Structure 1
Amino acid sequence: MENFIDLLFSSSNLVLTYLLLLLFIYWILTAVSGIDFDYDVDIDVDVDMDIDLEAVDAGNMDFEDVSSGEIDREHIVHKRRKPLKWWQVFLIYFNFVGLPFMFTFTSWIFFWWISTVTLTSITHSADNSIGHFIMIGMMIPALFITKIFTIPFKGFFKQLNRDGDTPVDFIGRQATLSSTISGDKMGNAEVLADGNPMSIYVKSLDGSELRFRESVLIIKQSNDKNYYLVSKS
């Protein structure tokens, strides 16, 4: 046991061991205490990180659960259909797109860690330069293992909404605006579903101004599934 602990905290495995421990603590805290760090990220080729600032009102910013936060393929598309950048292709190919980012990231770190620990143990190189080369070299193979491992989960997560529950049908429900919207400006609205208040992104159906705390009717969802179109109720 002592030798095993020494192996885990050897110079070659130390960084990955600590990183995996931090991820383990993160998942425990998320599961037990329900920590909810919400964020909403749209990626656009023009500026690399295209965040609709109009959709974020001061003091009313929503952050989506990091553990369930997804980057959708629709977000990684240039408005004029230019080729994707290398990092966008990377995210899509290795399933960081279409799956909760932290799920894929944790899987990658785990496979990288277990591969490095196993090889440095077999080669008795945990505390020398060969072990460091093994650690760096296993980064890419671990990505391919992660890709294979996460493929079956893509269909599962598609059936869930961003909070990990069965999707709620908001169409036809009443909502209360948390910000003023008009034209192409998006904002937030609070809707009561199954006894629970939920926050959604909304845009005016006909572009007319809808004011803060006004009651609106949810008409339909946008084609990219990112927001809902509403009108006066």
Structure 2
Amino acid sequence: MNSLTDLVFSTVNAPLTILLIVLGSYRLFTMLVGLDLDFDIDIDVDIDTDIDIDSTGVDLEDVTNIELKKEAVVGERRRKLKWWQVILLYFNFVELPFLFTFTSWIFFWWAITVISTYLTHSYNNSFGVIIFLSAILPSLILNKIFTTPFKVFFKKLERKGVESLDLIGRRGILLSNISQEKLGSVKLFVNSDPINIYAKSLHGEEIKSGEEILIIKESSDKKFYYIQSYN
């Protein structure tokens, strides 16, 4: 092994190294020029435990703000989570900016793989591939431990930002179907900045995903807004 570069760009370690470079470059680029990507992702989540997160529209703002929040909880129990939904919930890929959690996980996965392949001299052989795959679970565990304290921080930060805005009377786009007491996600722009809020239909009427809506009032607990169709 001639250098650290040879190690991190070896056959086994190169994929994670390149992915880390891409993630780091993206964050640096967005910080310098203020340009973010914008995606919409819908995730249907039903949980058969003490909480139930139902058909929540999750918006990925600049690839960093995707969050599945407990404000989307409804009362009745429904079908069990799929395996990948359990992973997202348990390993803190919810209620945190997605890119933050994802980058953290990739870093731990990369670190475990690089160190292990270095110690076993397996960075260019099939045993290194086994280490690469085996490192997924411990990296997820380390990532959960590392990111858990940040959940309170991000929740308080976001809540403070939303509470300072006057959203009553603003228009937005509904990201998931709602009716009766069902909670949905709304995307709107405030001073060209995209934000997401949770909302219920004002009179319980059905409003479909993609419709333009008008924000009427805030709930008494300040966790969501009442909306109606703008058409």
Given that 1:39 and 1:66 are in contact with CA atoms closer than 8 Å, whether structure 2 keeps it comes out as no
Q: Count how many residue pairs are aligned between Structure 1 and Structure 2.
A: 212
Q: Give me the CA root mean square deviation.
A: 4.1
Q: Which digits, 9 at most, give the CA deviation of each residue in 1:158-208, with x for residues without a partner?
A: 11229xx733344574425679xxx9498968676xx77766666652368
Greater than 3 Å deviation, 4+ residue runs: 49-52, 73-80, 168-174, 176-179, 183-192, 195-204, 206-209, 221-225
C-alpha deviation, 1:95, in angstroms: 0.7
Give TM-score, length-normalised by structure 1.
0.70
C-alpha deviation, 1:35, in angstroms: 2.3
Residue of structure 2 in register with 1:67 after alignment? 64
Q: Following the alignment from structure 1 to structure 2, what is the Cα–Cα distance between the partners of residues 76 and 204? A: 16
Given that 2:61 and 2:194 are in contact with CA atoms closer than 8 Å, whether structure 1 keeps it comes out as no
Q: Following the alignment from structure 2 to structure 1, what is the Cα–Cα distance between the partners of residues 90 and 103? A: 16
- Where does structure 2 lack aligned partners over 5 or more consecutive residues? 48-53
Q: Percent identity?
A: 40
Q: CA 1:171–1:140 in structure 2 vs 1: closer, same or farther (change >3 Å)?
A: same
> Between Structure 1 and Structure 2, which shows a larger proportion of strand residues?
2
Residue of structure 2 in register with 1:134 after alignment? 131
- Where does structure 1 lack aligned partners over 5 or more consecutive residues? 53-61
Residue of structure 2 in register with 1:220 after alignment? 218
Given that 1:94 and 1:143 are in contact with CA atoms closer than 8 Å, whether structure 2 keeps it comes out as yes
Residue of structure 1 in register with 2:44 after alignment? 43
C-alpha deviation, 1:79, in angstroms: 5.8
Q: Following the alignment from structure 1 to structure 2, what is the Cα–Cα distance between the partners of residues 72 and 41? A: 13
C-alpha deviation, 1:83, in angstroms: 2.5
Moved more, 116-125 or 67-76: 67-76
C-alpha deviation, 1:23, in angstroms: 1.0
Residue of structure 1 in register with 2:146 after alignment? 149
Residue of structure 1 in register with 2:31 after alignment? 31
Q: CA 1:17–1:198 in structure 2 vs 1: closer, same or farther (change >3 Å)?
A: closer
Give TM-score, length-normalised by structure 2.
0.70
Q: Which digits, 9 at most, give the CA deviation of each residue in 1:97-153, with x for residues without a partner?
A: 121111111111100101111111112111112211111111111010001000110
Q: Following the alignment from structure 2 to structure 1, what is the Cα–Cα distance between the partners of residues 185 and 137? A: 41
Given that 1:170 and 1:218 are in contact with CA atoms closer than 8 Å, whether structure 2 keeps it comes out as no
Q: CA 1:11–1:188 in structure 2 vs 1: closer, same or farther (change >3 Å)?
A: closer
Given that 1:188 and 1:200 are in contact with CA atoms closer than 8 Å, whether structure 2 keeps it comes out as yes
What code does the residue aligned with 2:23 have? Answer: L
What code does the residue aligned with 1:11 have? Answer: T
Given that 1:71 and 1:101 are in contact with CA atoms closer than 8 Å, whether structure 2 keeps it comes out as no
Q: CA 1:21–1:172 in structure 2 vs 1: closer, same or farther (change >3 Å)?
A: closer
